[in-house]
Amino acid sequence: MLLDERVDTAPRRRRARGSLSRHEILDAALHVVETRGLRLLSMPTLARQLGSGATSIYKYFPSKEALVEALATQVVQDIRQRLPPIGVRKWDVELFGYFSSFRELLATHRAYLELVAYGPAAFVHLALTEDARRRLDDGLDLLATAGLDRRAAIEAFTACLNYTRGFVLLASRATVPGRPGSAWDADLRIIDVFDADQFSHGLRLLIAGIRAEAT
Amino acid sequence: MLLDERVDTAPRRRRARGSLSRHEILDAALHVVETRGLRLLSMPTLARQLGSGATSIYKYFPSKEALVEALATQVVQDIRQRLPPIGVRKWDVELFGYFSSFRELLATHRAYLELVAYGPAAFVHLALTEDARRRLDDGLDLLATAGLDRRAAIEAFTACLNYTRGFVLLASRATVPGRPGSAWDADLRIIDVFDADQFSHGLRLLIAGIRAEAT
DNA sequence: ACCTGAACACCGTTCAAGT
DNA sequence: ACCTGAACACCGTTCAAGT
């Protein structure tokens, strides 16, 4: 569906009248974000990808900001569909597995990282769909089996969610490959590492805290 | 020290030869970021603030990116100096107070929020100074009084730090005033609110988890 | 109706020229 | 030595003109 960017000097052909669409534009934008990053997504870049004029995009999106927000919404929905459902094991095992999967999914999805780190301010709120609501209800049911009342369950689930999303966001802002390491001792440098182990330690503490609160 | 932005149409006077400095440029940049936001900080804007030509800034900073990174470093150091030291109360009380103060300091410091949300990728790593190291040592000593060994203390302190910085970062990306509220029930909407209470719940769970691990 | 290039007001940055 | 405007290659967006 995606056209390669044109490198030849011949003038491109005019696109047929009904050939452009919101879907194709979002597809091309996603491709640019995944391969080059959000900061290299410009209307001219995107137009070259589409083989169209940059101004044609404005028939489908009122502004670049609106386009990026539509893209972000799509990416968030796509990620939620890939998230495995909560299973039937003991609540603490399921909770740990659920948020570990969530973190890994986010951390390996370049478009998500680009959009959450540099994208629209509203990004954090995009999750508020009915599908997200269903996932939340599943999480609350799970925490009910741990003995938490509704209010405590909401607070606990929110804490895990905030920890996970915040961790991924921090990590995405911390990935600077060419950076010299700090001068700290080897065992202290861990404080600035954002790998899966580091994430797991914190998540385990949260779950231990929930367990303590439940009993 | 800061000049008001000029609004008159008369051509501004040429600045005297030694009158510009890194310090004055950073001061003016901080003022723009605090009052207008990082995205409205441009070289022309900054130059108007300084009453200089935009190109003069390049004698002191090789690029806008370098300027913003220098500003970010300064802001992080300033925040750390305002952070109250860890006291002598019981470890869980001190830990809660320390990270609550930290969160509030970050959340009320507009320049920090702008820079962490939209600033240089390296921002998260800027904290790695000797002063930060001293604060970390204090935290590890505190957790030692809870009965944690060195490794567990590092993991626990890191978890609290990541939770706090991640929460503030998420919150700063979620502040969209003109946004219509979600259609969810009122008691579920809490999951998308990033206030001090929400933060405290998670921090309390983390600390309860540390307590459970220590015994 | 949809697609288009020219044009506008910006931006970061370079550079030769002022003082 | 330091400060400067002109100039360059970009960007988002508007709009009148093509097809």
pLDDT in tens, A160-171: 999 999 999 999
Please judge whether B191 and A161 are an interchain contact, meaning their C-beta atoms are less than 8 angstroms apart: yes
> For chain B, what is the largest distance between any 2 Cα atoms, rounded to a whole number of angstroms?
73
Please judge whether A124 and B174 are an interchain contact, meaning their C-beta atoms are less than 8 angstroms apart: yes
Neighbours of B200 (CB within 10 A): 16
pLDDT band, very low/low/confident/very high, at A2 (cuts 50, 70, 90): very low
**B128: which chain A residues are within 8 Å (Cβ-Cβ)?**
182-184, 192
* B156 interfacial to chain A (CB closer than 8 Å): yes
* Nucleic strand C within 7 A of Cβ B64: yes
How far: B21 CA to D4 C1' (Å)?
Answer: 16
Residue B93 has pLDDT above 90, yes or no: yes
Region of B147 on the Ramachandran plot (φ > 0 left; ψ -120 to 50 alpha; else beta): left
Looking at residue A14, its pLDDT comes to 87
**A167: which chain B residues are within 8 Å (Cβ-Cβ)?**
162, 166
Q: What is the pTM of this model?
A: 0.90
Residue B27 has pLDDT above 60, yes or no: yes
Looking at residue B5, its pLDDT comes to 47
Please judge whether A163 and B202 are an interchain contact, meaning their C-beta atoms are less than 8 angstroms apart: yes
**Please, what is the average pLDDT of chain A?**
88
> Which residue from A164, A167, A135, A146 is spatially nearest to A209, judged by alpha carbons?
A146
Residue A146 has pLDDT above 80, yes or no: yes
Residue A154 has pLDDT above 70, yes or no: yes
pLDDT in tens, B163-198: 999 999 999 887 655 555 556 666 766 666 789 999
Nearest to B162 among A128, A170, A212 (CB): A170
* A196 interfacial to chain B (CB closer than 8 Å): no
- Of the segments A59-73, A111-125, B11-25, B178-192, which one has the largest average pLDDT value? A59-73
Residue A89 has pLDDT above 70, yes or no: yes
Q: Which nucleotides of D are covered by protein (CB under 7 A)?
A: 1-6, 10-16, 19
Cβ-in-10-Å burial (0-12, 13-18, 19+) of A27 comes to: middle
